Amino acid sequence: MTDAAVPVRRRALITGASLGIGEAFARRLAADGWDLVLVARDAARLGALAAELTGRHGGAAETLPADLSTDDGWAMVERRLTAGSPVELLVNNAGISLDTPFVRSAVPDEVRLVRLNVLAVLRLTHAALGPMIERGHGAVINVSSVAGFGVPMPGSTYSASKAWVTNFSESIGQSVAPLGVRVMALCPGYTRTGIHERTGIDMSRLPAWAWLRPDSVVDEGLRDLRKGKLVSVPDWKYKLAVAGLRHAPKRLLRGFTRDTRGAVDRAGG
């Protein structure tokens, strides 16, 4: 086989790749023949996933343990995005929620959320776009949430952080599209990943039909990226909900916010 016949493998860097939606991205992209750079804090879990995916699909899977709420973590991943073998797809997926309403939570926890959900997305997107624009191709998927479409929640910093991610991705996506590069916000609804249990959020009253599967979220997100969408909302139920939220009178939404005061009091104990 000549060099020219060797297929060029594409490489994706996924943050929060050790669990949930990020892990589903890793599994799907590895199966599709991508090489991977897997980022999260738990090095052992990342290593086990990388070994499993390499064994099963044969591609390369680097691990890059990093805490993306810290300056050191950002710097490490920025270096990987700007030097070394090129990254064709960045998936900014790592994100957290808090189980306490804003007025009762500790400021360091709120700051950690903003550093991970907002600043890491800003910094890694910025680092990835330079080389992508130079090459004239590449893509960034920023995992946001339907909570960013003005859903009033008692722990309001989470939905505010996701509103930023969606707006940011849509505006940057518009500006880089003519340069051959895509940026898309992926906005799932409730997805069964274990994040709520780990965060201590009681979801027992959410009906079974409202839950999405991580692999379906990833499939629809990648389909929408190929179509060139700037914002992807997986599943028709959530598409309908988002259309409603986008057009619902603010007065109605504020009324709903007032109704969540009970939840604030409950969450505060």
Active site residues: 158
Contact 161, 142 (CB under 8 A): no
- Nearer to ligand NAP by Cβ, of 95 and 101: the residue is 95
Least distance (Å) between residue 133 CB and ligand NAP: 25
Least distance (Å) between residue 189 CB and ligand NAP: 6
- Nearer to ligand NAP by Cβ, of 71 and 265: the residue is 71
In the DSSP assignment, the letter for residue 191 is: B
3-state secondary structure 80-145: HHHCCCCCCEEEECCCCCCCCCHHHCCHHHHHHHHHHHHHHHHHHHHHHHHHHHHHCCEEEEEECC
CB atoms under 10 Å from CB of 203, counted, come to 13
> Which helix (H) or strand (E) element contains residue 65?
strand 61-65
- Nearer to ligand NAP by Cβ, of 125 and 191: the residue is 191
Least distance (Å) between residue 27 CB and ligand NAP: 13
> Which helix (H) or strand (E) element contains residue 56?
helix 43-57
- Nearer to ligand NAP by Cβ, of 160 and 179: the residue is 160
**In the chain, what are the helix, strand and coil shares in percent, each to the nearest 5?**
55, 15, 30
Cα–Cα distance between 99 and 202 in angstroms, integer?
9
Least distance (Å) between residue 10 CB and ligand NAP: 22
Q: By three-state DSSP, how is residue 22 classified?
A: helix
What does the binding site for ligand NAP look like in residue numbers (CB under 6 A)?
15-22, 40-42, 45, 67-69, 93-96, 116, 143, 145, 188, 190-191, 193-195, 198
- Nearer to ligand NAP by Cβ, of 22 and 101: the residue is 22
Least distance (Å) between residue 193 CB and ligand NAP: 3
